[in-house]
Structure 1
Amino acid sequence: MRGTSMRGNPIRKPALFIVLGGIAIVVGLLCWYFLSGRGGDRFETPGVRTNVLLAAVSDRRVIDPLIVLSVGAGADDVFLFVPADLRIKLPDGTFARLGDTYEPDRMEGIRGRIASALGIDLPYYIAVDEPAFRGLIDGIGGLTLEVEDEVVYIDPESDPPAEIHVRPGEQRLDGATTLAYLRGRPDAGRIARSQVLLGAILAQGFVTRDSRSVARTVREMRGEIETNMPYSDLYALAASFRELDPGGLRTPTLPGERVAIDGVVYVQPRVVEAERIVASSLKGLELLTPSEVNVAVFNGNGIRLMATRTADYLKARGFMVTRIGNADTFSYDTSYIVVLTDEEKAWVLRDALPSPVKIVFPDSFSDHYEALKDLIPIGTDLILIAGAGLEIEE
């Protein structure tokens, strides 16, 4: 019996160790699965787009601009730039700039307000403060950027205030100078600079680095990131950036106009145009095509064959032209689109034209509309009056 027992032990002990080892691995994987958040909401849901808010925060305010990253659903990733000065309506009926509403509910509140303003599902946010942003750039060895125009940033924390100048040309920027490039003046070019900066960070911080280096960067920044995303998904998102083509990024900007109201400068969104961009970029909806837009074209500036050339231009781009003629006068100082049916069609037409044009409705354009309405064929969606400044090549 002892001999049999001794002969069996060399077989049973390794088998037992294998079983116990297998159980330990399974338990470990289950712990990782649930503790990392994989047992709850997933970062990406198959077949639908997932949106993540990206932001940098300084002195209790969100730095301009914010980015809504939209990934998945078998389409290209989209980085939608949202101005921090976007004018939003608060629950109490007052208005504020989006970036000024960081306190008291921090990024969770910002996330909810953007989701409401854009009409999208925005489950996640990732935010870094100034030290973390500088650390990210310094951690990858700085960034090489092609600076088009000089950027000047006045550091309010220094005494006396210090000026940081980022000169035109190819520059190697550390974390502090990169932040100055992002936050400096002129204000008008900030979103364009942010788009350049995004491409550089992705190209030099992710695409050209191996997966271990990317994982190490995320690991080092974990304690400095304000996020509601499970860290396992944060790693997965960072790893996915290595597959992007920085030169082919989709980086639309939420359209708006800068306006001053009661001494405060806001970005007032252009609602219809913004809805189109959100629908196509973040919701993956099919939009109207030019072939669905019927336009009557009239010469409003007196240039010979202006209506005919404009109609040919539109036909070449797929629009349906229902009539060509002269307007009630040749003294239009700008071009107009008069909306007869669907305003969304007016934006499709406006986006196709090479020069600025005003979108109006018959009730606010009544004198001119009354003079033209009998010339408009049934089924026409829009009237285009080609006024001064419309540049259509012959």
Structure 2
Amino acid sequence: MRKNKTKKRKIFVYSLLAVFLAVIAAVSWYVYSGYSQMKGLQKSDSESRFGQFESKPEDKPPEWTGTERVNVLLMGGDERGLREGEVPRSDSMLVASIDPSTKRIHLFSVLRDTYIEIPGHGKDRANAALAIGGPELAMKAIGNLLDLDIQYYVYVDFQGFIKLVDAIGGVDFYVEKDMHYTDAADGHVYDIDLKKGQQHLDGEKALQYVRFRHDKLSDFTRTERQRNFLKAVADKLQSGWNIVKLPQIIGEISPYIETNLSPEDMLKLASLGFKSHQAGSAQVPPMELISEERVGGAAVLGVRDLDELQQYVREVLATDSSVSPSPSPSASPSASDAEGGSPGGSE
């Protein structure tokens, strides 16, 4: 009897061990598979659309040790109509700033027509930095504007954005207005036709939403839409099924994306991102610091005061819009409230 019990116990232990080893093997394959796919996001000079740009010591981004604030420049490029060897301007620019100590993420949209100093090249529109000197120069120029050290960049073209949204199964999102725009120049491939209301956006519809700027406020409202949609994509990526599919998702978007993030850095950032929350977002420059100027007959957006703009960035980084402000200790229900009156007075 004792031998049978011992034998059963051994079988049970060996079974648990086999299950444990199987799980370890599966996790190891998953990590290796994801790691291999992530390596494909870094392109060699011969593969990169930015391969002609030589890395300069003065533009080299600072290293991230994992403990200080990390900033990532996200750039979307419009590559339609480019000739062989031409480099696109950045159609969209956002900076994701993450503080490891507070676990806060802030997003800054940089208006592409902002007239800024591009190191070594004088002043130009912010979106020109990428075409002039590649990603490292763009990181340096935008970092100088915001007074932030930008360690990393991620570049994606239109097709990469479409593939990403489709890979995560689309996004349920509220479209705040009807959006219509046609352009025969590209054979109507990127026409925009969206209806107001809650709907499921696939990759093509999502691209229409984040590109639309043909209304009264043009790029000002477009950048806000981009920040809001990016948050929705981040939330969808954090869902359990998409975490399991991550290696497959990375593999599908790899041909359309370039970054200087190593696989190790991606894993560190991913771990930090899952522990963090979006604490706020803002447009740069803010409306009150914009001056309309003309350079060479073309309209650009000037910055009224660079010091004030950088102070504005610091103030945004110090806030957390996800936390409701505590009621004032002196606040107490008024007599009208006690009697059932409106707490806010008449509307």
Pairwise TM-score range, normalised by the shorter structure: 0.5 to 0.7
- Which of 174, 178, 196 aligns to 1:146? It is 174
Residue in structure 2 matched with residue 218 of structure 1 by the alignment:
250
Report if the CA contact (8 A) 2:74-2:93 is conserved: no
1:135 aligns with 2:168: no
The answer to whether the 8 Å contact 1:64/1:190 transfers is: no
Change (3 A) 1:258 1:141: farther
Q: Give the gaps of 5 or more residues in structure 1.
A: 1-24, 286-315, 317-394
Structure 2: 5+ residue runs without aligned partners? 1-27, 43-61, 80-87, 320-329, 331-347
How far did residue 183 of structure 1 move? 1.2
Aligned to 1:294: none
**1:82 corresponds to:** 110
What is the aligned counterpart of 1:261 among 291, 294, 311? 294
Q: 1:128 to 1:258 in 2, by over 3 A?
A: farther
Query: Structure 1 stretch 102-111 or stretch 252-261: which is displaced more?
Result: 252-261
Q: Specify the alignment match of 1:279 in structure 2.
A: 314
Corresponding residue for residue 4 of structure 1? none
Alignment partner of 1:252 is 2:282: yes
Compare relative contact order (CA 8 Å, sep 6+) and give the higher one, 1 or 2: 2
> Shift in Å at residue 101 of structure 1?
2.7
Q: Report the counterpart of residue 199 of structure 1 in structure 2.
A: 231
Q: Kindly provide the CA deviation profile for residues 330-383 of structure 1, in whole angstroms up to 9, marking residues without a partner as x.
A: xxxxxxxxxxxxxxxxxxxxxxxxxxxxxxxxxxxxxxxxxxxxxxxxxxxxxx
Contact 1:133–1:175 under 8 Å retained in 2:
yes
2: CA distance, partners of 1:92 / 1:239: 36
Deviations 1:295-339 (A, max 9, x none): xxxxxxxxxxxxxxxxxxxxx9xxxxxxxxxxxxxxxxxxxxxxx
Q: TM-score, normalised by structure 2?
A: 0.62
| RMSD of aligned residue pairs (Cα, Å) | 3.3
User: What is residue 49 of structure 1 aligned with on the other side?
Assistant: 69
Q: Hey, what's the Cα distance between the residues in 1 that align with 2:240 and 2:291?
A: 38
Query: For residue 170 of structure 1, what is the aligned residue in structure 2?
Result: 198
Structure index of larger Rg: 1
Whole-Å Cα distance in 2 between the matches of residues 141 and 130 of structure 1?
A: 17
Deviations, residues 38-73 of structure 1 (Å, cap 9, x unaligned)? xxx864532x21111112111202123422333323
Name the CA distance, whole Å, in 2 between partners of 1:93 and 1:103: 12
1:118 to 141, 146, 151: 146
The question of whether the paired residues in 1 share the 8 Å contact of 2:72 and 2:151 is answered with yes
TM-score of the superposed pair, with normalisation by structure 1? 0.55
1-side partners of 2:281 and 2:249: how far apart?
24
CA distance in 2, matches of 1:208, 1:258: 46
Q: Is the 8 A contact 1:54 1:127 kept in 2?
A: yes
- Alignment partner, residue 367 of structure 1: none
- Matched AA of 1:268: G
Alignment identity in percent?
23
Deviation at 1:158, TM superposition (A): 2.9
**Aligned pair in 2 of structure 1 residues 272, 225: CA closer, same or farther (>3 Å)?**
same
| Alpha-carbon distance in 2 for matches of 1:258, 1:150 | 30
Q: 2:92 aligns with which of 40, 61, 64?
A: 64
Is the alpha carbon distance of 1:220 and 1:159 closer, same or farther for their aligned partners in structure 2, counting shifts above 3 Å? closer
Please show how residues 1-394 of structure 1 align to structure 2 within 5 Å. Answer: 43-46=64-67, 48-59=68-79, 60-91=88-119, 94-155=122-183, 157-159=185-187, 163-184=191-212, 185-186=214-215, 187=218, 188-207=220-239, 209-245=241-277, 249-254=279-284, 255=286, 256-257=289-290, 259-262=292-295, 263-270=297-304, 271-281=306-316
Change (3 A) 1:252 1:131: same
